[in-house]
Amino acid sequence: MGSVIAGRLSAAGHRVALTARGAEQLADVAGKLPGPSLCLPADATDPAAVRTVFSTVEQTWGPVEVLVLNAGAAVSKPIAKLTDDEWLGQLDLNLTAPFRAMRRAIPAMTERGWGRIIVIASTAGRVGEPNVAAYTASKHGVIGLVRAAAAELARTGVTVNAVCPGYVDTPMTDGWVERISDRTGKPPQHIRAALERKQPINRLITAAEVADVVDLCVASAAITGQAINVDGGAVQS
C-alpha cells in the first residue's frame, strides 16, 4: 500500500520522502517514482529515528505538508496467549508511532495553515476481530487519535483522517494467511478464499483502491475526522 500511495503522490507533483526499515525496499520504490524522492531508512517505533527523518526532510525540502502513516503489523493470537511484549509492541507500532509523527508534523502544518495527515488504520478499528486483540485495540486507539486531532485542528487548515482497509492483497495479508494456515492446518488457498468471502464483493481489496481514498483525503479540505472504510461493504457505517 505504501508504495502505491507514494506513486500516486509523486505523480500528483509531490516530492516524496519514503521511510521504512529496509533500505533496499525503499530504493526499489523510489526507483519507480516519477518525481523527486528521499529514502530514509528508519524504525517507526524509535523516537530518535523519527526525529531524524523529519529533520532530514525539513533540511532538504522544508516542512512536511502531507503525512501518510502507513507502517503497521499484526500479531494473530488468542488473548490468553498474548504476551506483554506482543501487546505493547502492537500499541507502540500501530498507535504510539503515529502519535509521535503527528506531534512532530502538526506545528509546522498549523503555522503554514495547511496540512494533510492520513493514517492507514483498518476495519479492525471499527469492529472486533477474534485472535487479533492487540491489533484491534491499537487500531481502535489510532482512530480515536485521528478524531481528537481533527477536532483540535479543525480551524487551522489541517485535516486528519483514517483510511480503514479490509483485507488487502498485500504481502501482509499473505503472511496472515500463512500464520492462520500454520495454526489451523488448513490449506492457504482455503484461508485466502475465506478472507475474500468476508467482503461482500467477494475479493480482496487492491492497494490502488486504498490509494484512491488517500487521494481524496489529500484533495479535500472538508473531509476531516473521518475513518473511511475500504472493504467492499463489509462494515457499513
Q: Name the residues annotated as catalytic.
A: 135
Its sign, for the CA torsion 104, 138, 1, 149, is negative
Q: Are 50 and 42 in contact (CB under 8 A)?
A: yes
Cα–Cα separations (whole angstroms), residue 75 to 34, 176, 199, 214? 35, 9, 21, 25
Give the closest residue to 161 by CA, choosing from 73, 222, 232: 222
Contact 76, 179 (CB under 8 A): yes
Question: What is the distance between the alpha carbons of residues 234 and 231, in angstroms, rounded to a whole number?
Answer: 6
Name beta bridge partners: 116: 66, 159
DSSP characters over 22-62: -HHHHHHHHTT-SS-EEE----TT-HHHHHHHHHHHHHHT-
Whether the Cβ atoms of residue 108 and residue 187 lie closer than 8 Å to each other: no
